[in-house]
Amino acid sequence: MSRRQAEAREERLAVLPRICGSILDTVGNTPVVRINKLAPEGVEVYVKLEAFNPLGSVKDRLALGIIEAAERDGTLKPGQTVIEATSGNTGIGLAMVCAHKGYPLVVTMAENFSVERRRLMRYLGARVILTPAAEKGSGMLNKARELADKHGWFLCRQFENEANADMHSRTTAMEILADFGENGLDYWVTGFGTGGTLKGVARVLKEKSPGTRIIATEPDNSPLLGSGVTQSYRDDGSPAASHPIFRPHLMQGWSPDFIPKLTNDVLEAQFIDRLVPISGADALEYARALARQEGIFCGITAGATFAAALQVAREAPKGSRILAMLPDTGERYLSTPLFDDITDTMSDEEMEISASTPSYRFDAPSQAAPAADGAAMPEPTEKARDFVEQVISDPDEPVVLFALEWCEFCWSVRKLFAAADVPFRSVDLDSVAYQENNWGGDIRVALRKKTGAPTIPQIFVGGEHVGGCTETLDAFKDGHLQDLLKAKGVSFDASKSVDPYEFFPKWLHPR
């Protein structure tokens, strides 16, 4: 980048508004970015980065549009529970909107969608009801309908709700026109998903930029649109059955097992100028290529859309301008095949780099200075010694964890106890309550004198020393801890089947 380009970027950033009334005011106005390395020569390829929405995907738009439309027409009442079926991104967007506006949210989601999505929704306060993967998208949709009917909840109906497409007509389409001008864009490329983006943008471009060709893309192994097989619908516009051509595919959020009503509207209006099928392998390849060659971090569906855009670009006349919609961030795909070749351990190359200097290595002895020979262990104060004895002999709290507040090994033991419903007292020696006059340090000296172990945590049951983190997890694994808890009269859930080693810190494995 030239100095002038850098200065121009800084000037643009300097005039952007910095103060928003709420998180909802940050939805939309996502950037369009030019592709510099991956585009064919003579053709301008751009991507619209919907990951710049506040919760990381294009579905933030429809979530806000649907909820506010329902508020305006009165179908959503104050405090009413909202429910929707989602592969994840819509649910995450709804969780943001509902958290801000004060609506309880329940989402239904097929179990095969990425776990990070369900965790994000729960983190934002939503309740996530999983449905069997074998029942596909129709299963989670039917479950949402059942729950809405039984409990009187507001069902978003993203696949047939006109507010979805309307939001894209008002925002996404107008942003594209503002960036490229009328007839300034030759091709617009998108997957169909719910159909909201496709319908909302396509109808505006057809009216205001008729020279722009609409390119839709779908999985090559599940070509619902390309099959020509019609979709059946209920009276309310929801799908009556799975589409017979549907097959499982990699692109989460693309192509459910039915053609949504909003997408069918686009087919009937003949807005699509070309349909481009894309393989899962190409979706993975180009998502990774965007990351490693353009610095654009996006998901599998974005990789698939970009692959379709490049296919169009290779055949387009010189000078063509192509825009591809990139719907979300790569962080939604950490547990999917997109990251199969990405490890959290050091590779041989990284180990070689580490070994190129002498210190802070896992393949060499520590460079720390040894303790002085014959160094005496400090004597504990009487107050600290008495405190330890009093705590571990308290009959009302027989399970005691001497810990540090944010130590990962201490949290491993806490998670084990929580999983097995073991009641315990945690003495957090680094907490505010133990900081005055180094009181926590004095207790730690007394604890080391009693156990002979310098490490934290240390666990006691009924006054009996179990050990540190590893010893406690080992004792649970072989049943000794459960026997000790029973012998000391500690009530816990003995029926829980728990692998205690799953609670070790995730980084604690061979490098």
Catalytic residues: 59
User: Residue 309 and residue 189: Cα distance in Å, rounded?
Assistant: 6
Q: CA of 43: how far to CAs of 186, 285, 312, 317, 364, in Å?
A: 11, 21, 10, 8, 53
User: Residue 78 and residue 439: Cα distance in Å, rounded?
Assistant: 51
Helix (H, G, I), strand (E, B) or coil at 158: coil
Radius of gyration in angstroms for the set of CA atoms belonging to the chain, rounded to a whole number: 29
Helix (H, G, I), strand (E, B) or coil at 252: strand
Place of tokens 């009302």: 396
Tokens of 51: 């990951």
Tokens of 180: 């490229």
Give 318's DSSP letter.
Answer: T
Buried b (16+ CB within 10 A) or exposed e, 152-175: ebbbbbbbbbbbbbbbbbebbbbb
Give 290's DSSP letter.
Answer: I
Contact of 316 with 43, CB cutoff 8 Å: yes
Give the ranges where 382-460 is alpha helix by DSSP (H).
382-392, 408-419, 439-451
User: Residue 201 and residue 204: Cα distance in Å, rounded?
Assistant: 5
